[in-house]
Amino acid sequence: MVKQPLVVASIPIRNVKDLEIALSIKDADYVELRLDYYSSPERIDYTMFANGRFIATLREKSEGGVNSFDPNVKKSLIMLWRKLGILYDVEASFIEKYSVEYNNAIVSIHILSEPKNIIEVENKVIKYLDKAFVVKIAVVPFKGYKSFLAKLLELGENVAVMPMNVEPRERIAFALLGSKLVYGYVTEPTANGQMHYKKIREVLNLFENIN
C-alpha cells in the first residue's frame, strides 16, 4: 500500500518576516527554508528551528538556487544544522565534491536536461538510499521522463521524485504513486509547477478518504 506523502511547505527566506512566517506554519509535515534567497544565511539564528519540522536548504545556483555562496559557508552551516538536529537538503554533487555528511539528510539530484546515462542516475540514487532520509530527484521534462521517475520510485520507500516546469497535477500524480515528499509553496512558488501546500493537503486527503 502506498503511504501518503509528507507535505513540505517551501518558503523563500529573504528577511526576518519570512522566518516568522515559517515558524507560524503548523499544518505541514515539514517547512522548507529556502535559504539561498537570503544574502547572508550564516547570520540567521538557527536555534529557533532546532529539532523541529524544518528543512534547511541552501540550494546551489547550478541546481536552481538563487544566489551563490562560498562552499565553506555551506559546509559550516551543514555542521551547525546537524548539531542542532535540523533536517537539511544537500545536493549529491556537493557531497561528492566536498565530502560532507549526508546521514539522515535529504540528498537532491537535479536533472536540468535529458540525462546521457539513465542507469548512472539510478546507481547514484541507490548509492545514497541507505543513509539518506530521502533521495530527491527533480527533472525537467524529456522524452520518457514519466516512466523514468516512476521507475525510480521502485528503488525504495525513501525516494521522492518530481517533474519541474509542468502542470501541478503531475506533481500530485507522482505523490500518489509513492513519492515520499511533495512540495508546495507558502508565499510564492520556489519551483515551476508547485501548488500551494494547503491545496496539496486537500487533494491528498480527498484520495485518502476514497474507499
Active site residues: 110, 136
Neighbours of 113 (CB within 10 A): 8
- Residue 39 burial class via C-beta count within 10 angstroms: exposed 0-12, middle 13-18, buried 19 and up: exposed
What are 76's three cell numbers? Answer: 559550516
54: nearest Cα among 27, 13, 12, 88: 88
What are 208's three cell numbers? Answer: 485518502
Neighbouring residues of 169: CB distance < 8 A, sequence distance ≥ 6: none
